[in-house]
Structure 1
Amino acid sequence: MPEQYYTTQLQAGLGLKEETKGLFELWAPGMNTQQLCDVALESGSFPNVTARRLRNIVAECFYPRYLRNEEVAHRVKSLLDVLSSTELSQIFYLYTSRSNYILSEFVKAVYWQKYASGYQSIDIEHAKEFIEQGLQEGKMKKPWSETTIKRVSSYILGCLADYGFLEGTTRKERKLTPPRVSDKIKVYLAYELHFSGLGDNAVINHPDWQLFGLTNDDVREELKALAVNRYWIIQAAGDVVQISWAYNNMEEVIDVIA
């Protein structure tokens, strides 16, 4: 895997849940970012968004989250009418975290650690300390100014609020409101990791589960519990897991969780 760096890309857009749904309704296979921008502008679906802002959302947010791999876009589009608003938010959060290394690392290293330690809230200083630590560890391609650090700290918290992980308030301190990951999202993620070519133990141990606060042991137990619904057959002996997968592709998986 190529080395990843913290970026300021969240400044282009945070959760963007409604904008993402609107763009998916307009997106068709084979569209590039310029074509999607043109269709979105002509559609009139974004009356309160300037042309420049819309292009920025498509190029800096929608594309890196969903269009780098068109198969991802196919899957997420097919889920729009299948999942509840909360479940869809968790899907958007998954792909936003994957495309924004700074967000995923903050969630794993700070958010869930604070929650596990009994914290009731989190504030911008926690985010700033996290970014400053990253700066010391060389996780940015070039140094950030104090202004940039403060701005990106705010973006991180705002994005988590958009996805329901923090109280939706503009106050400096935000209450932790960790959502429980939906069973449908667990099934979707497990199969997506499986079809990416990972072995059974690698699926269980994949860091994406940490985005939802799940340890390796948690994942193993969650998958065992879901086996009663015949999504798979799982056998575990110590740290070794063997899974017999019930479906042959993601289309089948999406049909089942619909």
Structure 2
Amino acid sequence: MPLVVNPNWQYSSGISGKGALVSEARAILREIDQGHDSDAVRRMVIEDDLLGRRTLGSREAIWDKLHLRYISNRTPKSLTTLARIVTHCPSETAADLVLFYEFCQVNPLLYDLTADCTYELYHNARTSIDKVDIEQWLSAQDSEHPEIGNWSPQTRGKVISSYLSIIRDFGLVTGIRQKVFRKMYVPAEAFLYALYHQKDRGLAGKAIIQSRDWRLFLMTEDDVVFLLEEAARDGFVRFRHAGDIYDLGFSYPNLHEVVDAIVN
């Protein structure tokens, strides 16, 4: 059964601008990992052209996008933890999935499109996802999300194209014209980041295992159980299960501590 999308979240067409910005996100987080605060990094982006953009307007626009996705409304500790895993993670795939995970947490449309539409297509033996799939999904949300109806056809088209480019750039699909699903492999580092992220938000036990967040990595509950068993063998968690009864404990007190263990 598909999960019902969250009607309390307001959808924004903001994903239609600037794309995934993966390398740009890595660049600013690298500076934060080196000890610069967000004000200093903003100056690097806008005044010193850290990201290689010619015009002041484009530098400001990119900074605003990245700030919203990865910096605003974060505690300093949360920000340095994110910067640390993205900068020092031994797996580039894992770092990209962490960036995608965090982007989804602050963008309801990106979250729901992935956890509902993309997830369902992937697990119903579809080999690809296209503009028609996204258009049909958006149309099905009109009653719960009337804000979609305020978008012009041009804006709607940009949202659809941008979404497909974003999931390609973050590694869920491949291809320029046709977006073909990759066989998803979630590295341990990305799994552990999302796991402890949910722990820090107050989820525990079965609620974590059945969390909708795992759909952002196109993972089923069986996939989660398999990676929990691996994580237990590696000492990151304590995990036992029998049928649908789960016993999950954590070896580290929070996300910050487990990230230190991952990168050291």
Deviation track 1:218-249 (CA, whole Å, cap 9, x = no partner) reads 31232123211111211224433222211123
User: Judging changes above 3 Å, is the alpha-carbon distance between structure 1 residues 49 and 102 closer, same or farther for their aligned structure 2 residues?
Assistant: farther
User: Judging changes above 3 Å, is the alpha-carbon distance between structure 1 residues 2 and 55 closer, same or farther for their aligned structure 2 residues?
Assistant: farther
Could you tell me how far apart the structure 1 residues matched to 2:66 and 2:46 are? 16
Could you tell me how far apart the structure 2 residues matched to 1:227 and 1:164 are? 26
Shift of 1:29: 6.4
Counterparts of 1:243-258 in structure 2, within 5 Å, are 243-258=248-263
User: Judging changes above 3 Å, is the alpha-carbon distance between structure 1 residues 257 and 83 closer, same or farther for their aligned structure 2 residues?
Assistant: same
Aligned to 1:93: 100
Residue correspondences, number:
254
Are residue 197 (structure 1) and residue 205 (structure 2) matched? no
Q: Match of 2:206, SS?
A: helix
Aligned to 1:77: 83
Shift of 1:206: 1.7
What percentage of aligned pairs have identical amino acids?
A: 20
Counterparts of 1:61-76 in structure 2, within 5 Å, are 61-70=66-75, 71-76=77-82
Could you tell me how far apart the structure 2 residues matched to 1:106 and 1:157 are? 10
Amino acid at match of 1:219: V
Taking structure 2 as the reference length, what is the TM-score of the superposition? 0.86
Shift of 1:162: 0.7
Could you tell me how far apart the structure 2 residues matched to 1:51 and 1:37 are? 12
Amino acid at match of 2:82: V
Shift of 1:11: 2.4
- Asked whether the equivalents of residues 66 and 95 of structure 1 are also in contact (C-alpha less than 8 Å), the reply is no
Amino acid at match of 1:134: Q
User: Judging changes above 3 Å, is the alpha-carbon distance between structure 1 residues 115 and 139 closer, same or farther for their aligned structure 2 residues?
Assistant: same
- Asked whether the equivalents of residues 12 and 56 of structure 1 are also in contact (C-alpha less than 8 Å), the reply is no
- Asked whether the equivalents of residues 46 and 60 of structure 2 are also in contact (C-alpha less than 8 Å), the reply is no
Could you tell me how far apart the structure 2 residues matched to 1:97 and 1:24 are? 17
- Asked whether the equivalents of residues 252 and 258 of structure 2 are also in contact (C-alpha less than 8 Å), the reply is yes
Amino acid at match of 2:83: K
Match of 2:48 among 43, 46, 49: 43
Are residue 8 (structure 1) and residue 19 (structure 2) matched? no
Structure 2: runs of 5+ lacking an equivalent: 1-5
Could you tell me how far apart the structure 2 residues matched to 1:102 and 1:181 are? 22
Amino acid at match of 2:218: G
Aligned to 1:102: 109
User: Judging changes above 3 Å, is the alpha-carbon distance between structure 1 residues 249 and 112 closer, same or farther for their aligned structure 2 residues?
Assistant: closer
Aligned to 2:144: 137
Aligned to 2:3: none
Amino acid at match of 2:254: N
Could you tell me how far apart the structure 1 residues matched to 2:222 and 2:182 are? 23
Could you tell me how far apart the structure 2 residues matched to 1:242 and 1:138 are? 38
Could you tell me how far apart the structure 2 residues matched to 1:63 and 1:162 are? 19
Shift of 1:49: 4.4
Shift of 1:201: 1.9
Stretches (4+) displaced over 4 A: none
Q: Which has the higher contact order (CA 8 A, sep 6+)?
A: 2
Match of 1:55 among 54, 57, 60: 60
Shift of 1:43: 3.0
Q: Match of 1:175, SS?
A: strand
Root-mean-square deviation (Å) = 2.3
Aligned to 1:126: 133
Deviation track 1:122-157 (CA, whole Å, cap 9, x = no partner) reads 211111111122223325276222222111110110
Deviation track 1:158-207 (CA, whole Å, cap 9, x = no partner) reads 101111112241x2x32222431111111221122112222222221221
Counterparts of 1:98-247 in structure 2, within 5 Å, are 98-138=105-145, 140=147, 143-169=150-176, 171=177, 173-247=178-252
Could you tell me how far apart the structure 2 residues matched to 1:29 and 1:16 are? 20
Amino acid at match of 1:198: L
Q: Match of 1:105, SS?
A: helix
User: Judging changes above 3 Å, is the alpha-carbon distance between structure 1 residues 239 and 122 closer, same or farther for their aligned structure 2 residues?
Assistant: same
Q: Match of 2:38, SS?
A: coil
